[in-house]
């Protein structure tokens, strides 16, 4: 099982703000930066946030990330129907000497 824990689901109506958490430990989130990925089944995952809170070009500013201690969070403001997807946090784990993904959060737009 993953060393990064995320809630299995989150939901909201169009226009609402949705947040999701990512809980890790001192060997991963505590000492390394966090990335977030958006994944629609059958497509290539997309890097949404890197280095805790940076957006690659082309990613809307509705998406924002933050990190505090051994936890991180992703927020989607002004939720849109196309935001319905699976979201994964990820980071390097110094103890495992490997990259680790969170368990994933499925976002539903009601």
Please report, as ranges, the residues that interact with another protein according to CB under 8 A.
2, 35, 37, 39, 43-47, 50, 56, 86, 88, 90-92, 96-104
Separation CA 64–CA 34 (nearest Å): 12
With respect to another protein, which residue has the nearer C-beta, 18 or 34? 34
Separation CA 97–CA 31 (nearest Å): 13
DSSP 86-103: EEEEEEEETTTTEEEEB-
What's the min distance (Å) between Cβ of 88 and another protein?
A: 5
With respect to another protein, which residue has the nearer C-beta, 53 or 77? 53
CA-CA-CA-CA dihedral for 27, 90, 22, 55, to nearest 10: 120
What's the min distance (Å) between Cβ of 103 and another protein?
A: 6
What's the min distance (Å) between Cβ of 13 and another protein?
A: 26
């Amino acid at each position: 099982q993953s060393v990064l824990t995320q809630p299995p689901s989150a939901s909201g109506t169009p226009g609402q703000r949705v947040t999701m958490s990512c809980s890790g430990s001192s060997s991963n989130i505590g000492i390394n930066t966090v990335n977030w990925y958006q994944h629609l089944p059958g497509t290539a995952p997309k890097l949404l946030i890197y280095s805790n809170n940076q957006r690659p070009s082309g990613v809307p500013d509705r998406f924002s990330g933050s990190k505090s201690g051994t936890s991180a969070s992703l927020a989607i403001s002004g939720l849109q129907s196309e935001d319905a997807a699976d979201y994964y946090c990820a980071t390097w784990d110094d103890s495992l000497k490997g990259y680790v993904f969170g368990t994933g959060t499925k976002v539903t737009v009601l």
